[in-house]
Every structure is written in C-alpha cells, then in structure tokens.
C-alpha cells in the first residue's frame, strides 16, 4: 500500500448465462426450482443475474439439470468489456 492511498482495480465481470441455457432447453423457473430443490426466488435471482456470490452447491445442481459444465453458465469479460477465452 503505497502512501496509504487505496484505489479500485478493474478485474472485469462474470455474467450468468442461466436464462439463455434454460430458454434453449425449454425449462422455466418454476420447473428449475422444483428440479434443484430450492425456492423460486433463488432461481429467479440466478436467472436475472442478480447473484453476487456463487453458491457452488446450487451451481452444481444447475449443471446437473442442464447437463452442462460450469463454464457454460459463467461468462467472463475482462477489463473494458473484452471477453477472455
């Protein structure tokens, strides 16, 4: 910490792609909430990208039902919005 000045560093963002994957597979939020055993509000928050901290158990359940890898549900964009593969 140089001279006690704090600064914010840009690391990029992670976007949830749950809506896209559910829509592709014809699964609605009610169906998903029943299949993974959580309240509708939990799935709704994931569906709309409102999750700030990932619950790995829920992520695993979503991957199981959607038959996908975690990387298919998460999309990282580097600083400045550029997608990093």
Q: What is the CATH code of the structural domain delimited by 14-71?
A: 1.10.260.40
Please name which of 27, 8, 15 lies closest in space to residue 51, comparing C-alpha atoms.
15
**What local confidence, expressed as pLDDT, does residue 10 receive?**
87
- pLDDT tens, position by position, 31-56: 999 999 999 999 999 999 999 999 99
pLDDT at residue 83, rounded to an integer:
56
What span, in angstroms and rounded, lies between the C-alpha atoms of 85 and 76? 8
Hey, how many other C-beta atoms are within 10 angstroms of the C-beta on 43?
25
How many whole angstroms separate alpha carbon 32 and alpha carbon 35? 5
Q: Where are the domains of the chain?
A: 14-71
Cα 76 from Cα 2, distance rounded (Å) = 30
Q: Band the pLDDT of 61: cuts 50, 70, 90.
A: very high
Q: How far apart are CA 47 and CA 61, in angstroms?
A: 14
The average confidence (pLDDT) of the chain is 91
pLDDT (0 to 100) of residue 85: 47
Check: pTM over 0.85? Answer yes or no: no
- Give the pLDDT mean for 58-76: 97
First-last CA distance in the chain: 31
């Amino acid at each position: 910490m140089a001279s006690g000045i704090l600064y914010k560093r840009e690391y990029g963002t992670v976007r949830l792609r749950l809506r896209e994957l559910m829509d592709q597979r014809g699964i609605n939020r009610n169906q998903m909430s029943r299949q993974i055993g959580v309240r509708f509000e939990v799935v709704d928050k994931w569906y709309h990208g409102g999750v700030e901290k990932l619950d790995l158990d829920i992520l695993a359940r979503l991957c199981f039902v959607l038959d996908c890898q975690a990387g298919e549900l998460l999309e990282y964009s580097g600083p400045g919005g550029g997608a990093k593969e």
